[in-house]
Amino acid sequence: MMKIYSSSQKFGHKHLTATVHNRAARIRVGKGDRPVTYEQAHHPHHIAHRKGWLSQHTSNLKGEDRAAERTIEDVFIRRFVFGTFHGCLANEIVIKRRGNVLSVCAVMLQKLPPQKFYFLIGYTESLLSHFYKCPVKLEIQTLQDKAVYKYL
């Protein structure tokens, strides 16, 4: 990104090189050997344009409350699922809330035999339902390998 204007009180222009220094949720361009998924390749300012939301609930809308509680639940669920299905997650988890039901959608790699997968799914669902006192559903899809979008 090139420097366009410099900050100058004479013309009243604002400093427009802010995008050079942002490092949030970005994988920097490298040699071209690192595979990257669609989610990782797009920067946060592409949310709602090229990306969707990973966690869908109504508490961040205007006039709604309990956003902090939902966020904490989301963080816990992400870490929990990452730990139970260690090394099997292909992409980020999508968490959806409809009414009382918490729906966790994940894409997994086929590293474990199906029986172990079923056991872990049942274990996660029952444990999380007991933690959060609401029905928790796990929707899993499996792939052979990670879905690579490009190489950076």
Partner 1 sequence: MASLMSLRRELFSLARILSGVSHLVRFLLFFLMQITVTEEPDMLFQKVVILVKGHDRAVLDSYEFFATMAAKELGITIGKVFEPPKAIERLTLLKSIHIFKKHRVQYEMRTHYRCIELYNITGCTAQVYLEYIQRNLPEGVAMEVTKTAMEKIPDHILEPLWKEIPTDDKPSQ
Interface residue list for partner 1 (CB under 8 A): 18, 21-22, 24, 48, 52-53, 56-58, 60-64, 96-99, 103
Q: Which two tokens stand for residue 109?
A: 């790699």
**Residue 1, helix vs strand vs coil:** coil
CB 108 within 8 A of CB 75: no
Query: For partner 1, which is the closer residue by CB, 22 or 141?
Result: 22
Query: Biggest alpha carbon distance in the chain?
Result: 70
| Minimum distance from residue 55 beta carbon to partner 1 (Å) | 9
Q: Which is nearer to partner 1, 88 or 138 (CB)?
A: 138
What's phi and psi for 33, nearest 5 deg? -110, 0
Judged by CB, which is closer to partner 1: 34, or 97? 97
Least separation in angstroms between residue 25's CB and partner 1 is: 12
Q: How far is the CB of 36 from partner 1 (least distance, A)?
A: 24
- The minimum distance between CB 37 and partner 1, in angstroms, equals 21
Contacts of 27 (CB under 8 A, 6+ apart): 34, 36, 40, 41, 152
Pick 53 or 118: Cβ nearer partner 1: 53
Alpha carbon 20 to its chain centroid, in Å, reads: 23
Residue placing its CB nearer to partner 1 in the complex, 105 or 109: 105
Type of residue at 81: V
- Minimum separation from the CB atom of position 29 to partner 1 (A): 22
Measure the CA–CA gap between 41 and 44, rounded to whole angstroms.
Answer: 10
